[in-house]
């Protein structure tokens, strides 16, 4: 069996087989594979006549084995891998790159220029990752070869339009994860689409690896908001395998390597949370080290005196802390400080990534943990049983969609409309007690409360007649009674 393998699905290779044996397996005169051709096998005795192998319009007329060899050799020289955007090379004019200033994105800038021959506009989104992460970025970007750097403060939009809707929906992924990174990616990608329009770019690029969730979150947003934009994902194309390769590439291209100390953990930080992955955390049996945490103190070291706070909520959305009205981003920032001081919001979990593998992560979400506790508790007053059950069931799917990067999916948007409608009366305040890593609800009140003391009281009342319960129990338990009668032959 002669095998033809590893032909790129993105390359334009046509194989024309001319054979006088019309009864052979190769009956058709032409086998075309402009987009997808990974493996072809045929008996040597069936390959008669000439084979014409063409790669990007360069034709080679030869005998059987020579043709196969020529195709493979041509592909090897072009270094075109199965996931390469080979067809875009030399055709892009300007690319907007999601840029952090770290080693990977610093290397991507010259790589894009070298392999795609395009201008590179670096884009950085301020989603609350900290001022230190933004220092000196313009100099780094231009030193790497970028034509400009665009920075946008997205903190208020991030909290108002992405975090708060998830909070209102009660969206939690796999029982624990409060979706910190999942919510940040679509707001960043949305801004990238806007910047691409502003600067006249015909493509966008990101530094996400081919193993993670973020590549999906970025690209689904690109597809939803501007399907005409091309997407370049270097980690799915280049030969760089790790940090040492990236440093070597940077030196070769005179790109200043970031001098910041490389963390042993992979971290992602924004105004909602801080995630930790890698190093000893890759073994789920290992306890995280005490010095790993950055947003919260160890609960054992938290103050010995509890702190009480009151969260004001209007229609399912937080508006105030201890009676002080704040903007969405300011409110979250204040709760992060308060919650972090008491060791609130630490979770350690093994989650199922969208791409199929399991991963272990540790998350710090101090302010978010407080807000989820408050919003959920207020709903105990304002939502009836059936509504609460339906809301909770939809929240599971809502969280799954957000985790999978489908923020701009019509299904999530429709679910959000339901959540907005169902929480119209979820207005009031919740008092919470913070103490050594725990959040306890101590009080809740709402002008739309469905709780009535005159009905719930053990004392007799005019609205609820306890004698009515006898008939209700008989009717409610009728199926169980009938089944028991059947089993006993009654």
Catalytic residue positions?
104, 185, 214, 266
> Do residues 395 and 169 lie in contact, with contact meaning Cβ atoms separated by under 8 Å?
yes
**Which of 43, 32, 44 lies closest to 7, judged by CA?**
32
Tokens of 370: 């407080």
**Cα gap 188→127, rounded to integer Å:** 8
**Cα gap 173→170, rounded to integer Å:** 10
> Do residues 188 and 125 lie in contact, with contact meaning Cβ atoms separated by under 8 Å?
yes
The backbone torsions φ and ψ at residue 281, rounded to the nearest 5 degrees and listed phi first, read: -70, -15
Specify the DSSP class assigned to residue 292.
G
The backbone torsions φ and ψ at residue 28, rounded to the nearest 5 degrees and listed phi first, read: -70, 145
Tokens of 417: 């409309």
90: left (phi over 0), alpha (psi -120 to 50) or beta: left
Give the angle 365-371-377 at the CA atoms, nearest 5°.
135
Neighbouring C-beta atoms of residue 122, cutoff 10 Å? 30
Bridge-based pairing of strands 230-232 and 203-205 is parallel
**At 356, is the secondary structure helix, strand, or coil?**
coil
Cβ burial of 169 (10 Å; 0-12, 13-18, 19+) is buried
Length of the chain: 490
Neighbouring C-beta atoms of residue 361, cutoff 10 Å? 20
**CA dihedral of 92, 96, 101, 107, whole degrees rounded to 10:** -10
């Amino acid at each position: 069996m002669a095998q033809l393998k590893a032909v790129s699905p993105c390359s334009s290779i046509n194989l024309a087989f001319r054979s006088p044996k019309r009864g052979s397996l190769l009956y058709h005169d032409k086998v075309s594979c402009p987009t997808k051709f990974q493996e072809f096998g045929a008996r040597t005795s069936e390959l008669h006549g000439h084979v014409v192998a063409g790669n990007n319009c360069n034709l080679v007329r030869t005998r059987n084995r020579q043709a196969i060899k020529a195709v493979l050799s041509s592909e090897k020289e072009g270094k075109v891998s199965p996931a390469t955007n080979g067809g875009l090379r030399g055709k892009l004019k300007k690319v907007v790159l999601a840029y952090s200033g770290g080693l990977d994105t610093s290397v991507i800038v010259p790589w894009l220029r070298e392999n795609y021959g395009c201008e590179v506009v670096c884009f950085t989104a301020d989603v609350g990752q900290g001022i230190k992460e933004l220092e000196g970025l313009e100099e780094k970007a231009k030193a790497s070869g970028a034509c400009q750097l665009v920075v946008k403060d997205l903190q208020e939009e991030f909290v108002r339009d992405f975090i708060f809707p998830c909070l209102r929906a009660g969206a939690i992924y796999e029982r624990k994860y409060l979706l910190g990174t999942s919510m940040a990616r679509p707001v960043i990608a949305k801004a990238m689409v806007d910047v691409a329009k502003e600067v006249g770019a015909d493509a966008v690029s990101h530094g996400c690896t081919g193993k993670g969730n973020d590549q999906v979150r970025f690209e689904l947003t690109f597809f939803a908001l501007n399907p005409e934009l091309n997407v370049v994902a270097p980690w799915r194309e280049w030969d760089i395998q790790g940090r040492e390769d990236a440093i070597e590439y940077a030196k070769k291209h005179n790109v200043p390597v970031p001098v910041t100390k490389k963390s042993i953990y992979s971290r992602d930080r924004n105004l909602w949370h801080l995630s930790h992955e890698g190093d000893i955390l890759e073994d789920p049996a290992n306890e995280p080290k005490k010095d790993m945490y950055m947003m919260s103190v160890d609960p054992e070291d938290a103050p010995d005196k509890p702190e009480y706070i009151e969260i004001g909520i209007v229609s399912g959305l937080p508006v105030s802390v201890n009676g002080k009205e704040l903007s969405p981003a300011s409110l979250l920032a204040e709760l992060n400080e308060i919650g972090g001081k008491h060791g609130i919001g630490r979770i350690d979990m093994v989650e199922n990534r969208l791409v199929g593998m399991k991963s272990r992560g540790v998350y710090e979400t101090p302010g978010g943990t407080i807000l989820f506790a408050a919003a959920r508790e207020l709903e105990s007053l304002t939502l009836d049983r059936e509504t609460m059950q339906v809301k909770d069931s939809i929240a599971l799917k809502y969280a799954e969609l957000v985790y999978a990067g489908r923020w701009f999916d019509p299904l999530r948007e429709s679910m959000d409309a339901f959540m907005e409608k169902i929480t119209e009366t979820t207005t009031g305040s919740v008092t919470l007690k913070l103490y050594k890593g725990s959040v306890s609800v101590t009080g809740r009140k709402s002008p739309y409360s469905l709780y009535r003391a005159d009905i719930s009281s053990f004392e007799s009342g005019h609205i609820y007649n306890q004698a009515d319960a006898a008939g209700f129990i008989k009717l409610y338990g009728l199926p169980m009674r009938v089944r028991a009668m059947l089993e006993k032959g009654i």
